[in-house]
Amino acid sequence: LVDEGLRSGKLRFVVGAAEAAKEAEFHYLCVPTPQGPDGAADLSYLEAAAAEIGPVLPNDSVVVNKSTVPVGSTRVVSRVLGRSDVAVVSNPEFLREGSAVHDFLHPDRVVIGSEDQSAAVRVASLYLGVAAPMMVTDPASAETIKYASNAFLATKLSFVNAVAAVCEAVGADVNDVVLGMGYDKRIGSEFLRPGPGWGGSCFPKDTRAMIHIADDHGYDFDLLRGVITVNEEQFERVADKVSDMAGGTLDGARVAAWGLTFKARTDDLRESPALEIIRRLIERGAEVVAYDPAVETAPDGVTLASDLYAACEGANVLVVLTEWDDFRWPDFDKVAEVMADRRVVDARNILDRAALQRLEFDVVGIGRT
């Protein structure tokens, strides 16, 4: 898309926000809102961008906030801009890493939050080519929709990981349980894959920020705290599984880890469950050799292997932490040959159990005995 935009002359790059702002009618703020030390979102990038463009914005232009910002930030931007003729509209983005272009062009909905109806209509007109329900609401509701959506999805994942723990205890198979639940239209089958816990650059920061926003307004969002606790426990539970597989202790054990990124089809390591789990394995005395098709620089304390089989050389346990397609159908004969012990913890439930069992591997997954 960038190439296409440059070639057609529809896209130009300039240095500095003010330079970009001085001729346009719409101004999208897409700056990061990292987590501050107390769990609240840090708005300094947003305020700096608004301060820079405020003085040069053309008359009657519209500033659109795409960044995920606490409720009330539309007003903050408006104040920093210091322009009574410029409307600020909240237009949260719901795209996922790895499928961002597709998600942007085929959204489930477009949400526009504005106190100024005509500015809302102008922003809505930018999405005329997009076939999706479009809703116009007030800025506080638009901002809350973004946090509530991420918090709900994180809740769904922690819920399914908790159900997986119950499945292990009662001898049920979580894959079948999730299938049976998902047929209920009120529940839906998406976003119900159990795993090593959720991570990435959004869910961890946005769930904490939502707790903080609620706290600031006198509501204790205990449910969401529980969602985060279940997630942290999941990292520990996967580390326990690896330890159990190694015979009850990781001291001196060699562990092969397949996957480092927080999910497949991204090279992002931020808040990756894989790294959280590997850190715990190392703390418990394991030597970890990892392979990830998208990672070239080894994270602290981890040795990086050149391919999946090299990672397994001499390993006592293999743990699968990211659901890369390359991991689904490996040459298990080769894996068996190079490992010291045939033991696997499949924290994404992606490996072919029957193939592994034919080669007499001990296998354990998530929510399946």
> Of 4-12, 17-25, 191-199, 242-250, which part binds ligand UDX (CB under 6 A)?
191-199
Quote the tokens at residue 188. 């839906």
> Of 77-85, 89-97, 114-122, 244-252, which part binds ligand UDX (CB under 6 A)?
89-97
Residue number, 119 or 210, with CB nearest to ligand UDX: 210
Does the footprint of ligand UDX cover residue 198 (CB under 6 A)? yes
Residue identified by tokens 């702002």 is 21
> Of 114-122, 193-201, 218-226, 357-365, which part binds ligand UDX (CB under 6 A)?
193-201
Among 97, 233, 313, 352, interactor with ligand UDX by CB under 6 A? 97
Does the footprint of ligand UDX cover residue 327 (CB under 6 A)? no
**CA neighbor of 268 nearest in space, from 30, 97, 95:** 97
Does the footprint of ligand UDX cover residue 258 (CB under 6 A)? no
Quote the tokens at residue 283. 């703390």
DSSP state of 61: -
Residue identified by tokens 């639940």 is 181
Distance CA 204, CA 215 (A): 17
DSSP state of 305: P
Active site residue 202: yes
Does the footprint of ligand UDX cover residue 147 (CB under 6 A)? no
Quote the tokens at residue 272. 């990756």
Does the footprint of ligand UDX cover residue 204 (CB under 6 A)? no
> Of 189-197, 212-220, 280-288, 298-306, which part binds ligand UDX (CB under 6 A)?
189-197
Quote the least distance from Cβ 291 to ligand UDX, whole Å.
Answer: 18
Among 54, 113, 199, 367, interactor with ligand UDX by CB under 6 A? 199
- Kindly write down the DSSP assignment for every residue of 82-144, as one continuous string: T-TT-EEEE------TTSHHHHHHS-S-EEEE-S-HHHHHHHHHTTTTS-S-EEEE-HHHHHH
Residue 199 burial class via C-beta count within 10 angstroms: exposed 0-12, middle 13-18, buried 19 and up = buried
Q: How far is CA 55 from CA 25, 86, 263, 283, in A?
A: 14, 11, 41, 53
Residue number, 49 or 264, with CB nearest to ligand UDX: 264
Quote the least distance from Cβ 238 to ligand UDX, whole Å.
Answer: 12
Residue number, 87 or 260, with CB nearest to ligand UDX: 260
Quote the tokens at residue 184. 């209920």
Q: Can you tell me whether residue 178 is helix, strand or coil?
A: helix
Distance CA 174, CA 195 (A): 11
> Of 23-31, 49-57, 93-101, 124-132, which part binds ligand UDX (CB under 6 A)?
93-101
What φ, ψ does residue 344 adopt, rounded to 5°? -135, 135
Site track 217-256 with ligand UDX (rule: CB under 6 A), x = hit: ----------------------------------------
Quote the least distance from Cβ 114 to ligand UDX, whole Å.
Answer: 20
DSSP state of 35: B
Residue 278 burial class via C-beta count within 10 angstroms: exposed 0-12, middle 13-18, buried 19 and up = buried
Site track 149-168 with ligand UDX (rule: CB under 6 A), x = hit: -x--x---x-----------
The active-site residue out of 30, 167, 202, 312 is: 202
Among 122, 208, 212, 263, interactor with ligand UDX by CB under 6 A? 263
Active site residues: 202
Question: What are the residues binding ligand UDX (CB under 6 A)?
Answer: 93-97, 150, 153, 157, 191-193, 195, 198-200, 202-203, 262-263, 273
